[in-house]
Structures are given as C-alpha cells and as structure tokens.
Amino acid sequence: MSSSTPTHAESSSSGNSSAPSSPAASSVASLGTDVTQLDQASATSADVPPSPSKEDIALPVEERQAKAKVLKDEGNKLFVAGQYDAAKHQYGLAIALDPSVPAFYSNRAACELKLEQHGLAIEDATKAIQLDSKFSKAYFRRASAHLSILDPKSALPDLKVVAQLEPKNASVKAQLEATVKLIRRLEFEKAIKVSEGVKAADTVESNLKEGGGGTVVPDSYDGPRIADGDDEDTKHLGKIDEKFITDMIEHFKNGGKLHNRYSWQIILGAFRALQQEPTLVDYEVTDGTTIDVIGDTHGQFFDFIHLLNKTGAPSKDHALLFNGDFVDRGSWSVEIALTVFAYKWLYPKTTLINRGNHETSEMNKVYGFEGECKAKFGGDLTFKLFTQVFVALPLATLISATQAPLTGDELPASFSVAQRQPITDKDTGRKRFFVVHGGLFSKDGVTLDDIRAIDRFAIGQPGQAGLMMELLWSDPQTAPGRGPSKRGVGLGFGPDITKAWCELNGVTAVLRSHEVRMGGYEEEHEGRCCTIFSAPNYCDSTGNLGAFARIDAQGSIGWTVFEAQPHPNIKPMAYVGNAMNGMLGM
Ligand SMILES: [Mn+2]
C-alpha cells in the first residue's frame, strides 16, 4: 500500500497525528471529522423545501404572517453573512407560513442565484412577478438567472421592464446594453463558425515555425524558457521538462507572465496529446500506484498550487485526473490552464483531463476566461486556440482497479454501501469508477460504448441536448427518478437511476464535480455518486472546503480536504465587464 496516501490535517479538529496507511483509513477519519460540513452540504443538495412546525402552521393568520416576517429578516441577515443555503431555508419557511408576499420569493431567488440554482431562481422570480407585476427586483433576478445559463434572449424582455420601471437607473441601462451586445456577439460567432477556414492551432504553429506573430522572445524577458526541440521538424515546438514547470509555477506565484511563445508551445503540446485520446479514456490503477481525482478549480490558482502540493505532481506511478472546470470565475484561469496543459505535455499518460461545462466557448465569453486571455495574451488568437483545444478534451475517464476489492467486513461500517457491496466489472470482478464532470443521462440504457462512440470533434460545443451536454451538465438529486434541473440546464438524476446505470455498466461509482459541497466532497446515492469540488471558498464567498479523492489499486477511495489560501487582491471575474458582473451576482 502506498505510503504517500493523503492525510487531511486541515479538516481534522481532533488533531489526527498518525498518517493513515491507506485510502480506506483516510476516508474513515475524514468522515469522522467532517460531519458539520457534510450536514451543511446536504442542505445544498436537498430538493425538498422545508416545512414549518405544526405549532406554527396552527397559528392565527396575523401571528403566522408576523412569524413569516421574522423568518424573512433572519434570512436577510444570513444572506448578508454569505450563508446562502441557510438563508434560503429561512425564506422557504416564511413562504410556507405566508405564500402571499412577493419579496419572500424574490429573496429566495437571490439565494438560488448565489447557489447556481438558476432554474429554481427563474421559478421563484416568476412567482414574485405574478404576485406583483411592478416588482423590478424580481424581473432583474429572473434576467440574471437567464443570463447565467446563457439565455440572454430570455433575459432581454425582463431587463426592458426593469429599465421602464427604473428609468433613472444608469446601471440598469448599462446592463441592458451589455446584454444586447452579448446576444449580437453570440449570434456573430455562430455565423462565422461555419466559414472559419484556418484553425487557430495552424496559425499559431506556423507563426512559431516562421518566427512571426510575436513568437520571438526578447533578451529582456526574465521568465522561464522552453528549450528548442531536438530536430528540424520539432525545433519550433520546443521541449518541456519538469524543471521548466516548477519554475513556471514559481514565476506565476510571483505575479510573472509567461512569454506568449512558451504559452503557445504548452497549449500545442497538450493539444497533440489530447487529440490522440478517445472520448472515454481508460485508466488502470496498477499495484502500488494511485490516481487522484480533482474537481472544479475555477481559476483559483493559489488554492490550486496548495492542492498540487498535497497531491504531488503527476509522475510515472501517480496520476492526476482534472475533472473539468479549471477555467472561468477565478481570475487566474490562464495560469491554471497552462500548468495543467504543461503536465499533459510532459506526462500525457498520467495527466488526465475531462472536459467541464466551462471548457466551452460560450461560457468563457460570460464567465471571464475570454476576457482574461485578451488581457494576458493580447488579441484574440490565444482564446481561439484554447477554444479549439478544449474541443479535444475527453468527456469522461473510466478508472479500473487491478487488484481484488476490499468488501463487507474488511471495511469499516462507516463505509458507503457502494464500497462495502461494490458493483464490479462483470469480467474481472474489479472495482471501476466512471469519472465525469456533470453526471448521467435523460434516458435509460446508455452504455460505456455509447459514450466511446461520441464524436466530440464533430459536435464541438455541447449545445442544449444530447449525451455530451448531459455528461457535462447534469446533477444528482435526492428524489428517485429524474427531475428538471435546479440550475436550468441538463437534468437531475436520482439514486435509483445511478444504481441501475452502475449495474448495467459494471461500475462501482460515478465520481463527478460541477457543484459546490461545503465539506469539499459528498458521498451521495449510497456512495454510488460522489461529488468532488476542489475550489475552496469558491468565488471568495462560499466558505466551503476543497477536496480530492485518491484511488488505489484495490479501488478503495480516500478523501483529502483542504482550506482556501490567501491570494493577491484581485477579485473573481476581474476580467468581465462591470455591467455583466453585476447581473451575474458577483
Ligand atoms: Mn461545472
């Protein structure tokens, strides 16, 4: 068993001093110490609104209404303190006692915007508008929710109403204009996509070869340098090594910029490796090796570096799987993308990357990555290059254990059903983990071969429907069956759906990311669906821990959680225009 198994000192209030000997031991310990966070996290994933006590329901009308107002005031305080789940709970109780007050729904919608439950926010804002057709905040929140899920056309009529109701409000006017501009840009991009001749990667490569387009590094450049490739054919592509990556990370930590030449060489190096990979990557965990699964990091570079110190760098016998959403929101997305891509270039077999819903061109236009690329590289060629490379990212990874699993009494009672009574590969009897950014599907019977058959290059962007969109966007729900998505894109899938899918495909558990969990991770659906989120104190405001999973050759999972780190004073989404930022609730 590996001695480099992660510990979780930062999560432990009981001062755990002895390093656990296996992922199994680590998992038990962190379950023991993270109870508070997990309880909070389950509030995020709860689908059922809260119900007030029988006593409160039995109160006379005026007293019930007074009580509802007190609950709303409590909700307001919690909201200001950044406790959006708890605030949402109080507004829900207020609504249950007095469903006639539009502000209760509108305030709950504000919480749902913060929790990225945009579908629910649209529902609540609509209820508020039905109760009061002149309630401009409710129109504004509904518009914000539509914009957040990239439906600016639906946001536009609401913003026009707000502008009419508040004709002197200059920021509303700016937001209306920003939305009209966004609609034009998205339509323009769609129109030119068809006629796009030369691809960004070809342009960049020929620039490197011919020394044009800003690819010559001046002597005054003081950052790390990539050596030329060994022969005439690869000279312009460069040759990466471990020392360069270490130096680059140090340079980034000190606020340094990498010369565009080297950034382009890194992105192309990753691109060549990614293009070779299938849509569903198979990874076997051989005896004595481990793989770490990392969730959303969202441009939080200083947390990302802290995380890498805990996982260790990828190497021949230690793999890292980045499960999507490493860009957007945080203002160091470029630095994270270049680090991940540099490792992909250096260690293509043990640096694995799944695409997230944010590795997509439309999301990048709204949530900051496009603006960050323009600011840090100049021009729009590098963003186009990233867009092209993101299309090459695999959509999922199947991790297979190679040793017999520990089961039943061999594992502590606190282990999930999924671990103690594992569903295994029918042929080998080994545990397998399906790792994907979002989750499962709107129909039954989807097989691993169906996923392998997705032509990700032909589809390009995930769009509004289909297996690719569902892999990137869907979320688990606590209720059985399937339901509409809380976030308004994709769908919710229940524990029965997960179990049936795992049985059909001989998969022990689905490991996914895509949603904040206060404890950094959460074992849901009896452990058959685990959420892993690796951006602690998400957007500098959520107060959550980050986490990663380590899987060994037997297929046992250990969890490590970690806290947010200090970072230079640059806000999330610093590269998004103010008007748009205000509508996205930042
Ligand atoms: Mn996501």
What tokens were used for 269?
């190096």
| Beta-bridge mates of residue 561 | 547
- Using the mean position of ligand 1's atoms as its centre, give its distance from the Cα of residue 324 in Å: 7
**Contact assessment for residue 534 and residue 307, using Cβ atoms and an 8 Å cutoff:** yes
Is the pLDDT confidence value at 418 over 90? yes
- Using the mean position of ligand 1's atoms as its centre, give its distance from the Cα of residue 98 in Å: 35
Most distant CA atoms of the chain, gap in Å? 86
Give tens-digit pLDDT for 85-115. 999 999 999 999 999 999 999 999 999 999 9
pLDDT > 90: percent of the chain: 83
Write down the CATH number for the domain with range 54-193: 1.25.40.10
Residues 284-306, buried b or exposed e (16+ Cβ, 10 A)?
ebeeebbbbbbbbbbbbbbbbbb
- Using the mean position of ligand 1's atoms as its centre, give its distance from the Cα of residue 584 in Å: 16
- Using the mean position of ligand 1's atoms as its centre, give its distance from the Cα of residue 284 in Å: 26
Give tens-digit pLDDT for 33-44. 332 233 333 334
CATH 1.25.40.10 residue ranges of the chain are 54-193
- Using the mean position of ligand 1's atoms as its centre, give its distance from the Cα of residue 355 in Å: 9
The 3-state secondary structure of 339-359 reads HHHHHHHHCCCCEEECCCCCC
pLDDT > 70: percent of the chain: 90
In the chain, the N- to C-terminal Cα span, in Å, equals 45
User: For the chain, what is the mean pLDDT?
Assistant: 90
Output the CA angle 378-383-387, nearest 5 degrees: 175
Could you tell me which of 571, 565, 573, 570 has the C-alpha nearest to residue 302?
565
What does DSSP assign to residue 415?
Answer: S
H helices of 453-540, where? 456-459, 467-473, 495-505
Give tens-digit pLDDT for 281-313. 999 999 999 999 999 999 999 999 999 999 999
Judged by average pLDDT, the poorest of 47-51, 119-123, 386-390 is 47-51
- Using the mean position of ligand 1's atoms as its centre, give its distance from the Cα of residue 196 in Å: 28
Let me know if 318 is a catalytic residue: no
**Contact assessment for residue 56 and residue 535, using Cβ atoms and an 8 Å cutoff:** no
pTM of the model: 0.90
Could you tell me which of 417, 436, 433 has the C-alpha nearest to residue 555?
433
Bigger pLDDT: 29 vs 11: 11
- Using the mean position of ligand 1's atoms as its centre, give its distance from the Cα of residue 298 in Å: 9
H helices of 431-477, where? 448-452, 456-459, 467-473
- Using the mean position of ligand 1's atoms as its centre, give its distance from the Cα of residue 129 in Å: 29
Q: Using DSSP, state whether 483 is helix, strand or coil.
A: strand
Predicted pLDDT at 60: 93
Could you tell me which of 381, 33, 388 has the C-alpha nearest to residue 213?
381
Residue tagged active-site, from 358, 437, 514, 525? 358
Q: Using DSSP, state whether 283 is helix, strand or coil.
A: strand
CB count, 10 Å around CB of 574? Answer: 16
Give tens-digit pLDDT for 229-247. 999 999 999 999 999 999 9
pLDDT band at 32 (very low <50, low <70, confident <90, very high): very low
Topology of domain 203-212+227-568, CATH? Purple Acid Phosphatase; chain A, domain 2 (3.60.21)
CATH 3.60.21.10 residue ranges of the chain are 203-212+227-568
Distance between CA atoms of residues 367 and 555, nearest Å = 36
- Using the mean position of ligand 1's atoms as its centre, give its distance from the Cα of residue 216 in Å: 37
The arithmetic mean of pLDDT across residues 6-13, rounded, is 38
Which H or E run contains 364? helix 361-366
Distance between CA atoms of residues 456 and 412, nearest Å = 41
Which H or E run contains 510? strand 509-512
Is the pLDDT confidence value at 436 over 70? yes
What tokens were used for 304?
């990302």
The arithmetic mean of pLDDT across residues 430-456, rounded, is 98
Give tens-digit pLDDT for 474-522. 999 999 999 999 999 999 999 999 999 999 999 999 999 999 999 999 9
User: Can you list the positions of beta strands (E) in 84-216?
Assistant: none
- Using the mean position of ligand 1's atoms as its centre, give its distance from the Cα of residue 464 in Å: 15
- Using the mean position of ligand 1's atoms as its centre, give its distance from the Cα of residue 369 in Å: 14
Could you tell me which of 190, 179, 334, 180 has the C-alpha nearest to residue 264?
334
**Contact assessment for residue 297 and residue 336, using Cβ atoms and an 8 Å cutoff:** yes
